[in-house]
């Protein structure tokens, strides 16, 4: 077996002795591409993790997105080959898979949005008259269905502020079902206030009704409303 392996960078080949540790300059215009890791399935992610652990630091040196250090001590390049092979499926994610993720079947979409709170979402929809998909979309965009406390102090799947929950809605925000019912009730009130305009109601849910009433709507609130409406469509 040859004691050398070839490293090809932008059309040029360099030989690296397999038993040596050399310093290899990283080119100024190194081509780097971000791979959509979120599109990977379980087995692809597992393969990537195993290959990355196998290759160790070699993967970092080869895939560095920018030349932070011009010369780095490089392990034999052959160690990184398992990583490069494992990454091939990431670069070749099919368009069909992307479309399936973007436009799931109605049943799959409902499970994705509602998650473990599907019964609570259905109950809130019956109590408020809102669409179950709309409530589920708010839950999904707010917390991805997790029972969280934000840095601003918002609580639960629909991210209710404690003061709003207790004084205006009279619900316990720490209880997931009460949180979802309270959030749906609050959204219903906002719809009434803004004359049934869903976009304005969602922007008010995110940024507060005062900002929307005054016409000073933050960009994140606009984006938030678009995301919820797209999921609920």
Burial (CB < 10 A; 0-12, 13-18, 19+), residue 228, is: buried
Reduced to 3 states (helix: H, G, I; strand: E, B; else coil), residue 204 is helix
Which residues are identified as catalytic?
142
Burial (CB < 10 A; 0-12, 13-18, 19+), residue 218, is: middle
From 194, 181, 186, 184, select the one nearest 163 (Cα to Cα): 186
Burial (CB < 10 A; 0-12, 13-18, 19+), residue 147, is: middle
Residue 195's region, left for phi above 0, alpha for psi from -120 to 50, else beta, is left
Tokens of 195: 């004359």
Reduced to 3 states (helix: H, G, I; strand: E, B; else coil), residue 65 is coil
Cα 178 versus chain centre, distance: 26
Cα 110 versus chain centre, distance: 18
């Amino acid at each position: 077996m040859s004691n050398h392996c070839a490293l090809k960078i932008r059309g040029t080949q360099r030989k690296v002795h397999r038993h040596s540790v050399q310093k290899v300059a990283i080119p100024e215009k190194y081509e780097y591409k971000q791979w959509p890791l979120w599109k990977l399935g379980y087995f692809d992610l597992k393969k990537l993790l195993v290959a990355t652990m196998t290759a160790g630091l070699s993967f970092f040196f080869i895939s560095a997105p920018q030349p932070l250090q011009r010369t780095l001590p490089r392990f034999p390049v052959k160690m990184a080959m398992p990583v490069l092979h494992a990454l091939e499926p990431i670069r070749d994610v099919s368009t069909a898979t992307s479309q399936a993720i973007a436009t799931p079947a109605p049943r799959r979409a409902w499970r994705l949005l509602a998650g473990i709170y599907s019964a609570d979402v259905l109950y809130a929809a019956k109590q408020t008259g809102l669409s179950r998909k709309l409530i589920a979309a708010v839950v999904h965009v707010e917390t991805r269905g997790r029972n969280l406390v934000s840095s601003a102090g918002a609580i639960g799947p629909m991210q209710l502020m404690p003061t709003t929950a207790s004084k205006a809605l009279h619900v316990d925000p720490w209880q997931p079902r009460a949180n979802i019912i309270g959030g749906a009730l609050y959204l219903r009130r906002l719809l009434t206030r803004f004359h049934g305009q869903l976009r304005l109601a969602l922007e008010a849910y995110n940024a507060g009704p005062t900002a929307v009433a005054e016409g000073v709507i933050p960009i994140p609130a606009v984006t938030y409303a678009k995301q919820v409406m797209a999921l609920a469509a």
